[in-house]
Structure 1
Amino acid sequence: MSEREIVVISAGLSNPSSTRMLADRLAAATARLSPVDVRVVELRDHAKDIANNFVTGFPSPELEEVLEAVREADGLIAITPIFQASYSGLFKSFFDVLDKDALAGKPVVIGATGGSARHSLALEHAMRPMFAYLHAVVAPTSVYAASEDWATGGDSTLADRVERAAGELAALIDQRPAVRAPDPFEEPVPFEQLLAQQSN
């Protein structure tokens, strides 16, 4: 069985960040359950390119390569810090420049980090509706990690949620046909049709 690829989108702003820590935990748990290659994208590394894309209407080569990786991925892990009771502006901006159909039917696990557990509802009132609008298949379990979850290396409740969400993502990926770029030579235009087009 060939390996699938998942792309991990981390919108953490610091280095290291709790957002990246949660992203890595979810990626590692998914890889234990399903044969997947993992690619991590730190959005802070592409912040200027994302902003320029809004102004020019075109992505830089580096940003286009990331967007293409997301389009071709078999699954997505999307993690953001919570600011003002919602996802970060950088996180939203990235998905604003992504093609509107890029996530259609794609399995996604959503997660977030914040200073207090009271911000956890942002996953359900902000993130899940956004991915539903983009026609992604969002795993039932979302994962929120508050500051206290990291105080002792992450409590067992967080670990349980990570494992459950990873299991759901792995199952969704395994049930879905592998994503691959269309082969322009797979269904060539018949020679007679090409001749007819030239004669017209």
Structure 2
Amino acid sequence: MNTPKRIAVISAGLGKPSSTRMLADRLALESADVLRERGVEVETSTHELRDIASDITNNMLTGFPSEKLEAVIADVTGADGLIVVSPVFSASYSGLFKSFFDVLDPASLAGMPVLIGATAGTARHSLVLDHALRPLFSYLRAIVLPTGVFAATDDWGEAGAGGQSALTDRIARAAGELAPLVEASERSSAPRDPFGFDSVLSPVGGFQPN
């Protein structure tokens, strides 16, 4: 029996409900649907950073993750694919979003397929995908998908003549790019050395307090 492929989802929205979480959920659902259409069994897990904000801060101060944060890190770095969505703060990703990736081992996302997404009030913030998110994950040596998905407030109610919105089209295109990379991935089935350089449970992650 084949081991299901795993997609981890990171949502950095601060509110409940959150348009950031809404976009993350739609990206995850569409990606899972595409994989199942290809005959691939898949599991998704979603992590809201607002729920572990204090754990992330404490990790940055002490260099050691809590059990709760450690579990999220293990799930994210051991997945076959990653979906990340951040709200736009001051023309970039949020501080909470960046802090989470600061505490990861810098090598832990190498080769990881990553679908990037962002949300904001107006479309003028859409360049955040290419000016902030893409460089971050390129630095971490992840495989960043060609299509990033940005959703402004107006995108949620917009639909064309056929009832299909531009946002829906972008989500479908991005999911179509992520699916074959997740299908080909062997990350979730590969044995991990808990004491190796690429350990997902490194006690200090990628952040060295001083």
TM-score band, normalised by shorter chain? 0.7 to 0.9
Larger Rg: 1
Instruction: Compute the TM-score of the two structures, normalised by the length of structure 1.
Output: 0.88
Structure 1 match to 2:176: 167
The answer to whether residue 92 in structure 2 is matched with residue 86 in structure 1 is yes
Structure 1 match to 2:51: 45
Distance across 2 between alignment mates of 1:150 and 1:183: 41
Distance across 2 between alignment mates of 1:75 and 1:159: 20
Could you tell me which runs of 5 or more consecutive residues in structure 1 were left unpaired when the two chains were aligned: 185-200
Residue 155 and residue 87 in structure 1: after superposition, are their counterparts in 2 closer, same or farther (change >3 A)? farther
Where in structure 2 are the equivalents of 1:50-199 lying within 5 Å? 50-152=56-158, 156-182=165-191
Distance across 2 between alignment mates of 1:20 and 1:43: 10
The structural deviation recorded for 1:180 is 2.9
The structural deviation recorded for 1:181 is 4.9
The structural deviation recorded for 1:165 is 0.3
Structure 1 match to 2:199: none
State the one-letter code of the partner of 2:17: P
Distance across 1 between alignment mates of 2:65 and 2:106: 15
Distance across 1 between alignment mates of 2:58 and 2:42: 32
Identical amino acids, percent of aligned pairs: 59
Bigger share in helix: 1
The structural deviation recorded for 1:183 is 6.6
The structural deviation recorded for 1:61 is 0.5
Residue 178 and residue 98 in structure 1: after superposition, are their counterparts in 2 closer, same or farther (change >3 A)? closer
State the one-letter code of the partner of 2:124: R
Instruction: Compute the TM-score of the two structures, normalised by the length of structure 2.
Output: 0.84
Pairwise CA RMSD of aligned residues?
1.6
SS in 1 for 2:46: strand
Aligned residue pair count: 184
SS in 2 for 1:2: coil
Distance across 2 between alignment mates of 1:155 and 1:146: 16
Distance across 2 between alignment mates of 1:181 and 1:16: 36
User: Which whole-Å deviations, capped at 9, do the CAs of 1:145-192 have from their partners, x for residues lacking one?
Assistant: 0010123589611000000001101011112234335277xxxxxxxx
Residue 145 and residue 155 in structure 1: after superposition, are their counterparts in 2 closer, same or farther (change >3 A)? farther
